[in-house]
Structure 1
Amino acid sequence: MFSQKAPQSHTLNSGVVLDFLRNTLPFNELPEEALEELAKDAALDFFPKGAVILTQGITEVTHLYLIQKGGVKLYLQDESGDVTLKDFRGEGNVFGALGIIRGAPASMTVETVEDTFCFLLNKKSFLALVQKDIRLAQYYLKSFSENYIHKSFSELRRQRLTPKGEGSLLLFSVPVTDLIKRDVEATPGTYSVQKAAEYMARLRIGSLLVEDAKGVVRGIITDKDLRSKVVAKGLEYRTPVREIMSSPVRTIPADAVCFDALLSMMTHQIHHLAVEDGGKIIGVITSHDIMVLQGQSPLYLFREILAQRTFEGLHEVSRHVPMVVRPLIEEGGKANNITRVITVLNDMILDRLLTMLQEKLGPAPVPFCWLLMGSEGRKEQTFRTDQDNALIYADPRDAQEADKAEQYFEKFSQLAIEHLVACGFPRCPGEIMASNPKWRLTYSGWRANFDRWVSVPEPQEVLHSTIFFDFRAGYGDKSLAERLRDHLTSSLKGKELFFRHLAQDCVTSRAPLSFFRNFIVERDGEHKNRLDLKSRGLVPFWDFARLMALRHGIRETNTLQRFKAVADGGHIPGELYSKSKEAYEFLMQMRLVHQLKLMESGVVPNNHVDPAKLSELEKQTLKGAFSVITSLQNYLKSSFKLNV
Structure 2
Amino acid sequence: MSDPTRQPQLALDFLRGTLPFSELSGDVLNWLAKACSVDFMPTGTRLFERGRTRPDRLWLVQKGAVRLTGGPVAAAEQDAGQDVRPVIRPDIRPDIRPDVRPDIRQDIRQDMRQEGGSVGSEGTDSGPGDASGADSLTDVRGEGASVGAVALLEGGVASADVETVEDTFFITIPRVVFLELVEREQVVSQYYMKGLPERFVTKAFAEMRVRCEGLADEKGLYLFASRVGDLVARPPVSVTRGTSLRQAAACMVEQGVGSLLIREGVRDRMPVGGQDTDEAFSLVMGEEWDERQGNITGASWDHGGELLSDEGDGEIIGIVTDSDLRKAVSLCMDYSAPVETLMNAPVVAMDAERPCFDGLLEMMRRQIHHLCVTRNGRIIGVITAHDIMVMQGRTPMSLFREIMHQRTLEGLHPLGQRIAHVVRGLVEEGARAGAITRMITVFNDLMLEKVLSLLQRELGPAPVPFCWMCMGSEGRREQTFMTDQDNALVIRDTEDPVIRKAAEFYFSVFTEQAVTHLDACGFKRCKGDMMASNPRWRMEQAGWTTQFTGWIRRPEPEEVLNSSIFFDFRSGYGRADYVDALWRQVLEEAAANELFQRHLAADCLRMRPPLSFFRNFIVEKDGQHRNTLDLKKRGGLPFVDFARVMALRCGIRETNTMDRLSALETAGHIPVQLGREAREAYEFVMHLRLVHQVAQIERGEEPDNHVDPATLSDLEKQTLKEAFAVAVRLQSYLKDLFHMHMG
Could you tell me the TM-score, scaled by structure 2's length? 0.68
Q: Show the counterpart of 1:517.
A: 615
Q: Show the counterpart of 2:84.
A: none
Correspondence list, 1:246-261, <5 A: 246-261=344-359
Q: What's the offset of the Cα at 1:629? A: 1.0
Query: Match for 1:221: what amino acid?
Result: V
Are residue 153 (structure 1) and residue 251 (structure 2) matched?
no
Deviations 1:208-237 (A, max 9, x none): 000012321000000111122x11211100
Q: Show the counterpart of 1:336.
A: 434
Distance 1:145 1:210 in 2: 46
Deviations 1:324-374 (A, max 9, x none): 112211110111111111110111011111110000011111110111011
Unaligned runs of 5+ in 1: 1-24, 42-128
Distance 1:138 1:308 in 2: 51
State which of 321, 332, 353 in structure 2 corresponds to 1:222. 321
Q: CA RMSD in A?
A: 2.7
Distance 2:581 2:196 in 1: 45
State which of 496, 499, 505 in structure 1 corresponds to 2:603. 505
Distance 1:628 1:638, change over 3 A: same
State which of 467, 471, 474 in structure 2 corresponds to 1:376. 474
Distance 2:595 2:537 in 1: 26
Query: Quick check: 1:145–1:334 contact (8 Å CA) kept in 2?
Result: no
Q: What's the offset of the Cα at 1:254? A: 3.0
How many residue pairs are counted as aligned between the two chains?
527
Query: Quick check: 2:200–2:719 contact (8 Å CA) kept in 1?
Result: no
State which of 530, 533, 539 in structure 1 corresponds to 2:637. 539
Q: What's the offset of the Cα at 1:317? A: 1.2
Are residue 164 (structure 1) and residue 217 (structure 2) matched?
yes
Query: Match for 2:211: what amino acid?
Result: L
Q: Show the counterpart of 1:448.
A: 546
Are residue 197 (structure 1) and residue 197 (structure 2) matched?
no
State which of 477, 494, 497 in structure 1 corresponds to 2:592. 494
Q: What's the offset of the Cα at 1:37? A: 3.9
Q: What's the offset of the Cα at 1:155? A: 3.1
SS at match of 1:293: coil
Q: What's the offset of the Cα at 1:463? A: 2.0
State which of 541, 559, 564 in structure 2 corresponds to 1:461. 559
State which of 622, 626, 629 in structure 1 corresponds to 2:720. 622
Structure ID, larger Rg: 2
Are residue 297 (structure 1) and residue 395 (structure 2) matched?
yes
Q: Show the counterpart of 2:301.
A: none
Correspondence list, 1:382-401, <5 A: 382-401=480-499
Distance 1:493 1:225 in 2: 48
Q: What's the offset of the Cα at 1:29? A: 9.6
Q: What's the offset of the Cα at 1:26? A: 7.0
Q: Show the counterpart of 1:554.
A: 652
Deviations 1:499-539 (A, max 9, x none): 11111221222221111111111111111111111111100
Q: What's the offset of the Cα at 1:293? A: 2.9
Deviations 1:91-135 (A, max 9, x none): xxxxxxxxxxxxxxxxxxxxxxxxxxxxxxxxxxxxxx9xx9993
Query: Match for 1:153: what amino acid?
Result: M
Correspondence list, 1:96-115, <5 A: none
Distance 1:528 1:28, change over 3 A: closer
SS at match of 2:522: coil
Q: Show the counterpart of 1:588.
A: 686
Distance 2:385 2:193 in 1: 40
Q: What's the offset of the Cα at 1:248? A: 0.7
Q: What's the offset of the Cα at 1:583? A: 0.9
Distance 1:347 1:137 in 2: 42
Which gives a bigger RCO, structure 1 or 2 (Cα 8 Å, sep 6+)? 2
Deviations 1:251-286 (A, max 9, x none): 112332111111110100000111234443222111
Distance 1:210 1:584, change over 3 A: same
Distance 1:148 1:508, change over 3 A: closer
Distance 1:133 1:537 in 2: 28
Query: Match for 1:219: what amino acid?
Result: G
State which of 447, 453, 460 in structure 2 corresponds to 1:349. 447
SS at match of 2:694: helix
Query: Quick check: 1:563–1:581 contact (8 Å CA) kept in 2?
Result: yes
Distance 2:235 2:200 in 1: 39
State which of 359, 362, 382 in structure 2 corresponds to 1:264. 362
State which of 644, 665, 677 in structure 2 corresponds to 1:567. 665
Correspondence list, 1:473-488, <5 A: 473-488=571-586
Q: What's the offset of the Cα at 1:384? A: 3.4
Distance 1:397 1:276, change over 3 A: farther
Q: What's the offset of the Cα at 1:28? A: 12
Q: What's the offset of the Cα at 1:486? A: 1.4
Distance 1:625 1:245 in 2: 49
Q: Show the counterpart of 1:436.
A: 534
SS at match of 2:390: helix
Distance 2:203 2:512 in 1: 46
Query: Quick check: 2:215–2:428 contact (8 Å CA) kept in 1?
Result: no
Are residue 135 (structure 1) and residue 191 (structure 2) matched?
yes
Distance 1:371 1:232 in 2: 37
Query: Quick check: 1:138–1:621 contact (8 Å CA) kept in 2?
Result: no
Query: Quick check: 1:432–1:439 contact (8 Å CA) kept in 2?
Result: yes
Q: Percent identity?
A: 51
Could you tell me the TM-score, scaled by structure 1's length? 0.78
Q: What's the offset of the Cα at 1:292? A: 2.3
Correspondence list, 1:386-425, <5 A: 386-425=484-523
Query: Quick check: 1:183–1:282 contact (8 Å CA) kept in 2?
Result: yes
SS at match of 1:284: strand
Distance 2:403 2:332 in 1: 28
Q: What's the offset of the Cα at 1:146? A: 4.2
Query: Quick check: 1:471–1:557 contact (8 Å CA) kept in 2?
Result: yes
Q: Show the counterpart of 2:69.
A: none
Distance 1:275 1:414, change over 3 A: same
Are residue 362 (structure 1) and residue 460 (structure 2) matched?
yes
SS at match of 1:474: strand
Distance 1:494 1:631, change over 3 A: same
SS at match of 1:449: helix
Query: Match for 1:372: what amino acid?
Result: C
Q: What's the offset of the Cα at 1:162? A: 4.1
Distance 1:32 1:137 in 2: 23
Are residue 240 (structure 1) and residue 362 (structure 2) matched?
no
Distance 1:414 1:641 in 2: 45
Deviations 1:519-573 (A, max 9, x none): 1111111111111111111000000011111111111111101000000000111
Q: What's the offset of the Cα at 1:139? A: 10
SS at match of 2:591: coil
Query: Quick check: 2:571–2:579 contact (8 Å CA) kept in 1?
Result: yes
Distance 1:183 1:280, change over 3 A: same
Distance 1:134 1:276, change over 3 A: closer
Query: Quick check: 2:248–2:339 contact (8 Å CA) kept in 1?
Result: yes
Distance 1:589 1:253, change over 3 A: same
Are residue 637 (structure 1) and residue 692 (structure 2) matched?
no
